[in-house]
Amino acid sequence: MKIVVTGAAGFIGSNIVKGLNAKGIDNIIAVDDLTDGDKFRNLADLKIADYVDKDVFYDLLAENAFGKVEAVFHEGACSDTMERDGKFMMDNNYSVSCDLFNTCQQAGTRLIYASSAATYGGSDTFRETPEFELPLNVYGYSKLLFDQRMRRECGENFKRLRRQVVGFRYFNVYGPREQHKGRMASVAFHQFNQFKAEGKVKLFGEYGGYDAGAQMRDFVFIDDVVAVNLWFLEHPEQSGIFNLGSGRAQPFNDVALSVVNALRDDHNALDLQGAVNAGLIEYVPFPDALRGKYQCYTQADLSALRSTGCDHVFADVTSGVTQYMQALNQA
């Protein structure tokens, strides 16, 4: 079985390669842009058959240069929600994906691609139907437009297809191999570095009707994201657009407390107030630049995912973040 992973040196892509390797699959073509050379570290301990630069890959795939490809995991994209260059975003996230879809359908190759919970934006309901899709930035719009294109191309319930097409609306993913993402890395990663540098972690203060640190997100551990992607690889009869979160909204306070309890020398777990009183959690004013552009609450509706028969059990913040802190400490 030959598999392609685009964005293979990135966070989710490299973890998918790792998950494929764990299943004995190493006939993998890794596609990425290594202009940021340090991203090689995400691939260095993994087994792949070849590496191809993204600038030449899509034309080569359309020319059938790689022979029979069973499936493409399309994780390559610009994921910077603060990027304002709309032309760049649409070229990178929409146009490339449309061309890839056409190539895959013509070749009989399955396509499993990354969408985003940013498609919901200002909505307070997170269900995969158009009335709840209200992106707040051009990144979210670029992902939504491709989802809409898939709905048109694939027909009702994605039945008008030659081969499987699956889109995953990722919620707040965290875990190993995200160190290259800079400001777009997870809050857990940034808090690990804050704690190591300053002995405390910082959270936004009250905003949007929520108390300090009480804004809630659906935080999903990378191992769970990989498990669901691979479940669909093993179930080629299933197609559609699906939320991929834990289905559980938890406050940022839970992440901060899990980071603090995992990293402090005293292994007697503190509660939130105890951590705040000890100066281990600090609240900072909500930044003006994010006002009106910030999701204070997200929670994936997993009804569509569960209807496929995927019954994967997702980690909660305490268990997932604790595992992540242990991995970062060992790095």
Residue 94 annotated among the catalytic residues of the structure = no
Pick the closest to residue 261 from 210, 169, 205, 324 (CA basis): 324
Are 27 and 70 contacting, i.e. CB atoms less than 8 angstroms apart? no
C-alpha distance across the termini of the chain, in Å? 32
Which residues are CB-neighbours of 221 under 8 A, at least 6 positions away?
173, 174, 175, 246, 314, 315, 319, 320, 323, 324
> Whole-angstrom Cα distance, residue 60 to residue 172?
33
Q: What amino acid is encoded at 204 in this protein?
A: F
Are 74 and 143 contacting, i.e. CB atoms less than 8 angstroms apart? no
Residue 181 annotated among the catalytic residues of the structure = yes
Set 58, 113, 120, 139: catalytic member: 139
Record the tokens describing residue 231, joined without a space.
Answer: 């479940």
Phi, psi of 280 (to 5 degrees): -90, -20
> Whole-angstrom Cα distance, residue 136 to residue 274?
36
Set 54, 181, 200, 202: catalytic member: 181
> Whole-angstrom Cα distance, residue 251 to residue 29?
38
Q: What DSSP string runs through 255-315?
A: HHHHHHHHHSS--S---HHHHHHTTSEEEEPPPGGGTTS--SB-----HHHHHTT--PPPP
> Whole-angstrom Cα distance, residue 272 to residue 65?
56
Task: Give catalytic residues, as residue numbers.
Answer: 139, 181
